[in-house]
Amino acid sequence: MIYTQRGLDWALNFIDSINADPSKYVIYKQSRPIANLKHMMVTTTDLYPNNTAFMMKFPGTKEYESISFTRVLEEMNALGTALIAKGLKGKRIAVCGENCYYWCLSYLAAVCGVGVVVPLDKELPDGDLKGLAAAAEVACVFTTKKHQAMFEEMLKDHEGSMEYVVGMYTKPEEAGDVLSLEALIEEGKKLIAAGETSYINAQIDEEAMGILLYTSGTTGLSKGVMLSHKNICADLMSAPNLLEVLPTDRFFNVLPLHHTYACTCDFLVPMYKGACMAFCEGLKYIQKNLKEVKPTLFLGVPAIFEALYKTINKNIKKQGKDKTVAKVLKINKFTKKIGLDLVPKFMGQILDVFGGELRTIIAGGAAMDPIITDFFCDLGFRAVQGYGLTECSPIAALNPDKRELANPAAAGRVLPMFDAKIVDAGEDGNGEICIKGDHVMLGYYQMPEQTSEVLVDGWYHTGDLGYMDENRFIFITGRKKNVIITSNGKNVYPEELEYKLSLSKFVSESMVWADEDEQGHDVRIVATIIPEKEEVEAVLGADAPADKVLELLQGEVDKLNDQEPIFKQIKKVVLRTEPFVKNTSAKIKRFEAANKKLN
């Protein structure tokens, strides 16, 4: 058995409860019970053996190669068998490298019968990666060329618990002191042919730590989030009830897989549903690869969709068709109701940018402007956003993919079989968002105090502030640790003001923070703003002096202040031309930046 009876019973009851309870706002009854990720891979392959699981351009090739679920399962079993033969049963296995089939295969082989998988951020400097590998007690790491020498150094110097380094693309004849993934697969196949079944028949403890994920915090402190198979499977079985995923779908992957958003939603969801995951070659190849892959689902962060939105509108404006497009989209809202869709006829070129078959756009990681969501919906796509945290595996809330049931202003609706509440709400109704369910983490690795601070009676205290309506939609207003408390006790949420500033075409990025006034007696709100270069130059000309740019930005802030109560008004504007300090999730390191006074 590849699952415990307790695990299977839980999965069956989970699915039955979703389907039986209409109050959970289930739209699609399309999930099947899975006790763990190995059970998922075996059953998906049984159902869809010849479906394409991955599409990838391997080094030296110009065309996408299709990899079937049958091949994935065969190579997963072979790789896992070889790892056990190397004495790695029950140990920590890291994966650190570029998004590719071998990254996913290494992850699956490690977690589905060997030990605990530890995805590491390939963008981190070597020193940080060494520290995380040592802290996680990693015994083996799968990696690519960028960090291979550093991990080899750890191996040679006997740093931490490192026993093996595996080169994902290392040829057997070039392996040297490292192992070759290709050679391990062949070794495992021979062991299986000889009757070795220790990996294939390995039973998974669904409630034990199976995944150790390190957060990329904005405070510089990484926490190891301990997740179980049960945590991940709960999200996998719940999310498709609000979002349609079909075995014929193709997901387009651009986000780094070491982040739990991409790992669960862009990788494991298609594996669960028998769908395909296609790898983008890199951000500069997005438009080219979209046409080649012809995806049906595209996950990204708001910045990606905002860039596409701006590019599309800029091209429309250059062609002098902006008024025509606006008119077509307006009329189409009415004609679609009688079965006449004007978009394919009048805006076919725009749809072709996405490959011509795109159905759903999903944004996560930050709030997406409802204007952009509506624009993509007007083009005929299902454009939704969700709310997730690593500690929730990560999906906590998701907007339904049916436009009439979604709320583009909300972060999402609480998933079926999970719960949420708002605690310590203030006069404005905002309080801390707390989440409860089988997707909530086991805790922080070797951090009992930090764990007890956020896990209270089964409720995960997210640190996010917001409110929830009667339909279980969650609205986020800011981070608890970022709240500015004015001298009269009022709460100001920097993220809210930053979002409103972002609506100005002259603002590229901003950060709102608190400082003392000149007398040092009162708190004043400051906005440090990076201007949108092209828009500013269109008004002021190239090489405009800083004081003129600041004056222009001050005018935009004044417009915002006119709409805000006095306690929320921005009292000072700081012009910034250098990028903000950010973590590898592209989020501003708020406190580090604030300490430098953001100038």
- Could you tell me the pLDDT band of residue 259, with boundaries at 50, 70 and 90? very high
Torsions phi, psi of 549, nearest 5? -65, -45
Which stretch of 118-127, 211-220, 349-358 has the lowest confidence by average pLDDT? 211-220
Cα separation, 96 vs 75, in Å, equals: 19
Asked whether residue 22 carries a pLDDT value surpassing 70, the answer given is: no
CATH of 485-595, picked from 3.30.300.30, 3.20.20.70, 3.30.390.10, 3.50.50.60, is: 3.30.300.30
Q: Which residue has the tokens 């890291």?
A: 94
Per-residue model confidence (pLDDT) at position 599:
45
Report whether pLDDT(598) > 50.
no
Instruction: Tell me the average pLDDT across 549-570.
Output: 91
Cβ(273)–Cβ(265) below 8 Å: no
Average the pLDDT over 156-174 and give the result: 91
Residue 546 has pLDDT above 80, yes or no: yes
* Residue 21 pLDDT > 80: no
d(CA 140, CA 164): 5
**Contact between residue 181 and residue 142 where contact means Cβ atoms under 8 Å apart:** yes
Confidence of residue 221 (pLDDT cuts 50, 70, 90): low
The pLDDT value recorded for residue 591 is: 54
Q: Read off the tokens for 60.
A: 């030296």
Q: How long, in residues, is the chain?
A: 599
Alpha carbon distance 223, 473 (integer Å): 28
pLDDT at 492 exceeding the cut of 90 = no
- Banded model confidence at residue 217, pLDDT cuts 50, 70, 90: low
Q: Where are the domains of the chain?
A: 37-235, 485-595
Indicate whether 389 pLDDT > 90. yes
pLDDT at 426 over 50: yes
Domain 37-235 of CATH type 3.40.50.720 = no
pLDDT at 120 over 50: yes
CB atoms within 10 A of CB 70: 14
Q: Which residues pair with 214 in a beta bridge?
A: 224
- Secondary-structure breakdown of the chain: helix, strand, coil percentages, each rounded to the nearest 5: 40, 20, 35
In this prediction, residue 401 carries a pLDDT of 94
Q: What is the longest distance spanned by two Cα atoms in the chain? A: 81
Greater pLDDT, 590 or 384: 384
Q: How far apart are CA 187 and CA 320, in angstroms?
A: 62
Scored b (16 or more CB within 10 A) or e, 397-416 reads: bbbbbebeebbbebbbbbbb
Asked whether the predicted pLDDT for residue 490 surpasses 90, the reply is: no
- pLDDT class of 226 with cuts at 50, 70, 90: very high
- What is the mean pLDDT of the segment spanning 276-292? 94
Cα atoms in the 13 Å half-sphere on the side-chain side of 566:
2
Q: What is the pLDDT of residues 430-442, one digit of tens each?
A: 899 999 999 999 9
What confidence category does residue 218 fall into, taking pLDDT thresholds of 50, 70 and 90? very low
Rounded mean pLDDT, 527-540: 92
Alpha-carbon distances, residue 539 vs 262, 309, 452, 489, 536 (angstroms): 39, 22, 54, 40, 5
Of 60-64, 174-178, 250-254, 481-485, the range with the lowest mean pLDDT is: 481-485
150, 160 in Cβ contact below 8 A?
Answer: no
DSSP labels, 520-559: SSSEEEEEEEEE-HHHHHHHH-TT--HHHHHHHHHHHHHH
Distance CA 167, CA 180 (A): 5
| Amino acid in the structure at residue 534 | E
Q: Judge whether residue 593 has pLDDT over 60.
A: no
Kindly tell me the number of DSSP H helices and DSSP E strands found in the chain: 21, 27
Give the integer Cα–Cα distance in Å for 352 and 199: 45
User: What whole-number percentage of the chain has pLDDT above 90?
Assistant: 68
DSSP letter at 195? T
What's the mean pLDDT in 342-348? 79
Q: Does 219 score more than 50 pLDDT?
A: no
